[in-house]
């Protein structure tokens, strides 16, 4: 039998999150991280990403409310950083949600690994059936 997980302790280990790519999936991760009280830095090259993401957070808020999670003033712990290396520099957790282009992801992860703290948890949302088919991700990275 597994022992119960102390969710608050887990969240305390990863207070600073960097979300790379704030499309539909990235916006959802951003909302979830913010609802759990984490500090989130978003890195995304889309024009008007701040306005777009803040609009997405307003649309996601009713779902968070239904789940019993905080849903108001989510953007209080949100900031935007267009420079990837600066965005990940203080991250305890990196959640990547970029396009499914293997060469692009390989280059992205190489840049992330050069700038992210060694203790950081590296995660990737991918649509590919297997991690190895899409790209060689870092040994430190987990694809979900």
Q: What is the pLDDT of residues 108-123, one digit of tens each?
A: 999 999 999 999 999 9
User: Quick check: 136 pLDDT over 80?
Assistant: no
Tell me the whole-structure pTM to 2 decimals. Answer: 0.86
Q: What's the mean per-residue pLDDT of the chain?
A: 89
In a 13 Å sphere around the CA of 11, the CA atoms on its Cβ side amount to 12
C-alpha–C-alpha distance, residues 103 and 100, integer Å = 9
Sheet with 39-43: strands ordered across: 78-80, 39-43, 16-20, 93-96, 121-124, 141-143
45 token code pair: 């090259």
Is the pLDDT at 133 greater than 90, yes or no? Answer: no
Tens of pLDDT along 51-88? 999 999 999 999 999 999 999 999 999 999 999 999 99
């Amino acid at each position: 039998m597994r022992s119960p997980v102390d969710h608050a302790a887990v969240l305390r280990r990863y207070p600073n999150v960097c979300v790379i790519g704030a499309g539909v999936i990235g916006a959802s991760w951003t909302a979830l991280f913010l609802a759990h009280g984490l500090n989130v830095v978003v890195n995304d090259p889309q024009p008007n990403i701040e306005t777009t993401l803040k609009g997405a957070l307003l649309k996601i808020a009713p779902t968070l409310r239904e789940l019993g999670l905080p849903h108001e003033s989510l953007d209080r712990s949100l900031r935007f950083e267009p420079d990837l290396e600066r965005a990940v520099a203080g991250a305890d957790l990196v959640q990547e949600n970029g396009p499914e282009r293997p060469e692009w992801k390989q280059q992205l992860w190489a840049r992330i690994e050069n700038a992210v703290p060694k203790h950081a948890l590296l995660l990737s949302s991918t649509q590919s059936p297997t991690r190895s088919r899409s790209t060689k991700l870092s040994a430190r990275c987990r694809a979900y």
